[in-house]
Amino acid sequence: MDPLHLIAVEPLDPEAEAPLYQQLEQRLLQLIASGALDGETPLPTEMELCEAFGLSRATVRRCFADLVKEGRVVRRRGQGTFVAREKASHSGPFLNFSQRMASSGRTSSSRVVIFGQERAAGGVARRLRLEEGEPVYRIRRVRLADGRPMTMDTSHVPCSLCPNLAQEDLTGSLYALLAEQAGLLPARADEHFEAVGLTDAEAEIFDMEAGSPAFLITRTTYDQHGLPFETAVTVAPGDRNSYEVSTSAS
């Protein structure tokens, strides 16, 4: 995928309250969170971003300076600017599984258990702000680290957002795929955590005893315009998953 195309998929807003360098910084952080920007491919140069957005060199330089200071990107002499892998796990509440595993030194993979279309109903329709009966994709994947099952994720995505999703490889990052195919960038997520015991079927997937403690996480992810584009339910055994939550007064 072309990083410059992903970053410049939409223009920045010179009339917005946030200055342009902050808008560009947020765009880059959203793409890092989605997994669409990795640590292998260099980011576009300052001049390429200036030309793509019509920005001054000082504006782009300020953006990169902030990202370097925050540890989000690193500069490599003679090679360019790259996403800092060690910071991937701090991207946001809707952590990209592939990046989270890479940041901990593990190799991630996925096994697609269910993929198909169905009619949105109940909580799925409500969380995605859809009318009852609108078509959505249902994607269930077991996510693995070094071959060990870590989570089971069941995602719903409106079919209208990515009509060709059935033709894509779903074993990698779903967020990166949606960013590339539909220009959808994860800006925030609402998550609900609940302590549960694994059902018989879930325990078999994780090779654990039924009733073993686990997290049940319901998540709705919103794009850069505040519109929901994915809702998911994750089952995560407590003995192999931990989550860190930060709060502030603002």
Beta carbons within 10 angstroms of residue 82's beta carbon: 17
Look at the block and give the residue holding tokens 């680290």.
145
Give the burial string for 189-216 (b: 16+ CB within 10 Å, else e). Answer: beeeeeeeebeeebbebbebeeeeebbb
Residue of 193, 175, 195 whose CA lies nearest to 185: 175
Q: Which of 76-85, 121-130, 149-158 has the lowest mean pLDDT?
A: 76-85
DSSP state of 107: -
CA distance 244 to 123: 26
Residue of 24, 4, 31 whose CA lies nearest to 66: 24
Q: Which CATH class is domain 3-90?
A: mainly alpha
CA distance 114 to 76: 41
Residue 88 has pLDDT above 50, yes or no: no
Helix axes 46-53, 57-69, angle to 10 degrees: 130
**Arithmetic mean of pLDDT, 104-112:** 85
149-206 pLDDT, tens digit per residue, is 999 999 999 999 999 898 889 988 888 888 888 888 888 889 999 999 999 999 999 9
Render 158-183 in DSSP notation, one character per residue: EGGG-TTGGGS--SS-HHHHHHHHH-
Asked whether this chain's domains 3-90 and 97-237 adopt the same fold, the reply is no
Residue 211 has pLDDT above 70, yes or no: yes
- Domain residue spans of the chain: 3-90, 97-237
Give SS3 for 180: helix
Residue 244 has pLDDT above 80, yes or no: no
E strands of the chain, at which residues?
73-76, 80-83, 108-119, 135-145, 148-158, 188-197, 213-222, 228-237
- Asked whether the beta carbons of 180 and 165 are under 8 A apart, the reply is no
Residue of 186, 178, 139, 143 whose CA lies nearest to 162: 178
CA distance 250 to 241: 28
Q: Which residues sit opposite 152 in a β-bridge?
A: 142, 235
Which CATH code of 3.40.1410.10, 3.40.630.30, 3.40.50.11540, 3.40.1190.20 fits the domain covering 97-237?
Answer: 3.40.1410.10
DSSP state of 98: H
12-59 pLDDT, tens digit per residue, is 999 988 899 999 998 998 888 777 787 788 999 999 999 999 999 999
- Rg value, the chain, Cα: 19
* Per-residue confidence (pLDDT) for residue 22, from 0 to 100: 92
pLDDT-derived band of residue 85, with 50, 70 and 90 as boundaries? low
Which amino acid makes up residue 145?
Answer: A
Distances (CA, A) of 8 to 31, 41, 71, 93, 194: 11, 16, 22, 24, 38
Residue 91 has pLDDT above 50, yes or no: no
Which amino acid makes up residue 72?
Answer: R
